[in-house]
Amino acid sequence: MTDAVIQITQENHIYTLTIHRPEALNALNKLVFNELEAFFTTHANDPEIKGVIITGAGEKAFVAGADIKEFSSLNADQGMMLSKRGQDIFFLIERFHVPVIAAVNGFALGGGCELAMACHLRIASQSARFGQPEVNLGLIPGYGGSQRLPQLIGKAKAMELLLTGNMVSAEEAFRLGLVNEITDSGNVLNRCREIIQIISTKAPLAIKETIRILENPGLNNSQGYEDEHITFGNLLVTEDSREGASAFAEKRKPSFLGK
């Protein structure tokens, strides 16, 4: 037995990483980050690996966000560091040399939606729900969502989702271009494996370069990521953000004062 929060399986050189924190709807805490980092650095130059699938344990959630219960003890600098760490780990995923596919079962909210967006493709079950609800916590996204969401779905819809904090269904996410395909919940992992299998028959150097070139400076504004983690840290210590996290833990509506 291990205390790992990510279960890793491998079949035919396709790895499946299952984030397993059912008590917190698979929310991203330090341990999840450490294990993601270890996997993606260990396999950074692995010539055998064909692809990686990231999913969440259970039917209810892919990942319900950053672990809100870890926020209350953080000061602004620690908030910035947390956000920067999340961004850096998600860059490891985005820059991985073979396809990484998010198999989205259930809620993909906040950091969970950001994790899915850092993957190269997203395959969702019909029950998947996507959203960036950080405004309910007095925050902005901290793991690249303010940059990747407008890249994927355009500024108008990204602005709407980020300002309202509303969730969208799998169908709506597909219509917006956030999701590549929707499939039955029992078939999501199989479909991801099929796609990786197809891609693995193509020229490896071309696959690697395709992934790299889509992350070009025209699409990726490093200033935007820096602005995101600094703003995240500064907002994390506002009274409103403390109130948002307390209200979440106490299962009540937050009362925001604009401070």
Active site residues: 114, 134
What are the DSSP calls for 242-257, one per residue? HHHHHHHHTTS-----
Chain mean position to CA 181:
17
Residue selected from 56, 79, 141, 233 as contacting ligand CAA according to rule CB under 6 A: 141
Residue selected from 17, 27, 161, 170 as contacting ligand CAA according to rule CB under 6 A: 27
CB closer to ligand CAA out of 136 and 220: 136
CB closer to ligand CAA out of 52 and 64: 64
Residue selected from 5, 19, 52, 109 as contacting ligand CAA according to rule CB under 6 A: 109
Chain mean position to CA 152:
13
**Phi, psi angles (nearest 5°) of residue 98:** -125, 165
Residue selected from 116, 123, 137, 178 as contacting ligand CAA according to rule CB under 6 A: 137
Site string for ligand CAA, 76-105 (x = CB under 6 A): ----------x-------------------
254 vs 227: CA distance, rounded Å: 26
Is residue 25 close enough to count as binding ligand CAA by CB under 6 A? yes
CB 81 within 8 A of CB 33: no
The DSSP code for 45 is T
Which of these segments, 5-13, 63-71, 88-96, 235-243, binds ligand CAA (CB under 6 A)? 63-71
Q: Rounded to the nearest whole angstrom, what is the least distance from the CB of residue 143 to ligand CAA in the complex?
A: 5
Q: Rounded to the nearest whole angstrom, what is the least distance from the CB of residue 107 to ligand CAA in the complex?
A: 4
Binding residue count for ligand CAA, defined by CB under 6 A: 23
Q: Rounded to the nearest whole angstrom, what is the least distance from the CB of residue 209 to ligand CAA in the complex?
A: 30
**Phi, psi angles (nearest 5°) of residue 123:** -115, 125
Q: Rounded to the nearest whole angstrom, what is the least distance from the CB of residue 142 to ligand CAA in the complex?
A: 3
* Residue 234 structure tokens: 């500064």
Residue selected from 51, 56, 99, 111 as contacting ligand CAA according to rule CB under 6 A: 111
The stretches of the chain forming alpha helices (DSSP H) are: 30-42, 76-94, 111-118, 145-153, 155-164, 170-176, 188-199, 204-213, 222-236, 239-249
125 vs 156: CA distance, rounded Å: 25
Is residue 51 close enough to count as binding ligand CAA by CB under 6 A? no
Residue selected from 5, 6, 19, 24 as contacting ligand CAA according to rule CB under 6 A: 24
Cα three-residue angle 139-141-147, rounded to 5 degrees: 140
Q: Which of 43, 46, 33 is nearest to 88 (CA)?
A: 33
| Contacts to ligand CAA by CB under 6 A | 24-25, 27, 64-69, 86, 107, 109-111, 114, 133-134, 137, 139, 141-143, 145
